[in-house]
Amino acid sequence: MKALRNIVDKMKPTFSKGGKLSFLESTFDGFETFLFVPNKTTQSGAHVRDCIDMKRTMIVVVLALVPALLFGCYNTGIQVGLEGWTAFFYGLVRILPMIATTYIVGLGIEFTAAQLRGHAINEGFLVSGLLIPLIMPVSTPLWMVALGTAFAVIFGKEVFGGTGMNVFNPAILARAFVFFAYTPQMSGEKVWYSDWTMMGAQVDGVSGATALEQLATTGSMQWSALDAFLGFIPGSFGETSTLAILIGAAILLFTGIASWKTMVSVFVGGAATAYLFGALGAFDYPAYLHLLVGGFAFGAVFMATDPVTSAQTSTGKYIVGFMTGALAILIRVVNPAYPEGMMLSILFMNALAPLVDYSVVEANISRRKNRVKLVK
């Protein structure tokens, strides 16, 4: 550790103001603070004393994503008829190029933008870059992943001013772009086909709809609810296992990174709407399946809780969370063109969250004004 510190210190003058490579200052700063907790302290004003900074926050989210990632690797292999470690390595080989693509493209754009603006590099993309491969079908061509990432980072984030300023969640925006731009590759019968025949994968047997699409089109699925909970169903890479996602949720909630208010109210909203539609006879399968299949759980835990794009006020979190869950099920059940409603409902509520916050704040102000009048 000390040796690394010495190397960094030695390099520092070259990149600082007046040094040879001073135009790369923010890139260097980005790497330095990635390796070591910065020792800068604020000189004025009141601040909360806390050793956690944005890099540490983001790393916890990445850790929380690891169970879903590892299970996704295993399940991808299982779905093409492999077993044990072979299945795991098959999935790993499929996902690594996607992860590499998103990080190279996304971080490349982020670094360039920070450099051009003279800003410090923000680490928001650490999480987005891992989320994007996890919510794509495994067979998505890499250039589509790259294009979606570039679109999300430029138009979802940098245009608005970088990390912390974005209106929409970049990861879900990347998926939305690829979904609408290349619909045939993202939905329908072919979404789960894998054209890689290595390690003895049986390709012919796996071409087919995801569990969610089977539910939407035929009203039943060939997998049991337990399979859906554990995640042995076809679907996007990281979204299949509700169990792995719940482990991630536990990490996020224990460390206090994600808001339990949003998370719980998404599930409550989704369950309430699903049972309502079930009672109305919109579908025959049990309503709780809606919470297990597709991207519902993944979106609720990792996407809807995004601290930037979700609501900021406490009451607002309940409202936005509930409506995200409710809208997702509403889109799934009512609109046959979109079997997966989670993506659209999160984007929609991202757009509405500032309005909800505004109303909550205004309501609070007028409530307290009334109280003043009563005293008079």
CB of 137 to other proteins, least distance (A): 13
- How many degrees, rounded to 5, is the angle at CA 223 between CA 222 and CA 228? 145
Contacting residue, 31, 182, 260, 338, with other proteins by CB under 8 A: 182
* Residue 85: alpha-carbon gap to chain centroid: 27
Within 8 A by CB and 6+ apart from 3, the residues are none
CB of 203 to other proteins, least distance (A): 15
CB of 183 to other proteins, least distance (A): 6
Q: Contact between 348 and other proteins (CB under 8 A)?
A: no
Name the residue nearer to other proteins (CB basis): 183 or 364. 183
In Å, the largest CA–CA distance within the chain is 81
CB of 327 to other proteins, least distance (A): 19
Window 185 to 214, contacts with other proteins (CB under 8 A): 185
The per-residue DSSP string of 305-338 comes to T-TTTS--SHHHHHHHHHHHHHHHHHHHHH-TT-
Window 27 to 86, contacts with other proteins (CB under 8 A): none
* SS3 state of residue 281: coil
Handedness of CA 179, 185, 188, 193 (dihedral sign): negative
CB of 181 to other proteins, least distance (A): 4
Q: Contact between 143 and other proteins (CB under 8 A)?
A: yes
Letters for 144-173 (x = contact with other proteins by CB under 8 A, - = none) are x----------x------------------
Whole-angstrom distance, CA of residue 150 vs CA of residue 175: 11
Both tokens of residue 342? 């989670």
Contacting residue, 37, 181, 199, 363, with other proteins by CB under 8 A: 181
Name the residue nearer to other proteins (CB basis): 204 or 284. 204
**Which stretch, 103-111, 139-147, 261-269, 282-290, contacts other proteins (CB under 8 A)?**
139-147
What one-letter code names the amino acid at 19?
Answer: G
CB of 185 to other proteins, least distance (A): 6
Contacting residue, 16, 22, 112, 183, with other proteins by CB under 8 A: 183
CB of 196 to other proteins, least distance (A): 14
286-293 long-range contacts, Cβ below 8 Å, gap at least 24? 286/225, 288/225, 289/215, 289/221, 289/225, 289/228, 290/329, 290/332, 291/242, 291/267, 292/225, 292/228, 292/229, 292/242, 293/210, 293/211, 293/212, 293/215, 293/221, 293/228, 293/233, 293/235
Residue indicated by tokens 């086909």: 193
Number of alpha helices (DSSP H) and beta strands (DSSP E) in the chain:
16, 0
Window 234 to 253, contacts with other proteins (CB under 8 A): none
Name the residue nearer to other proteins (CB basis): 184 or 281. 184
Q: Contact between 224 and other proteins (CB under 8 A)?
A: no
**Which stretch, 19-27, 174-182, 333-341, 344-352, contacts other proteins (CB under 8 A)?**
174-182
3-state class percentages of the chain: helix first, strand second, coil last, to nearest 5: 70, 0, 30
CB of 176 to other proteins, least distance (A): 9
CB of 32 to other proteins, least distance (A): 31
Name the residue nearer to other proteins (CB basis): 99 or 144. 144
Within 8 A by CB and 6+ apart from 80, the residues are 90, 194, 201, 202, 203, 205, 206
Contacting residue, 2, 180, 281, 371, with other proteins by CB under 8 A: 180
> Contact residues for other proteins (CB under 8 A)?
141, 143-144, 155, 177, 180-185
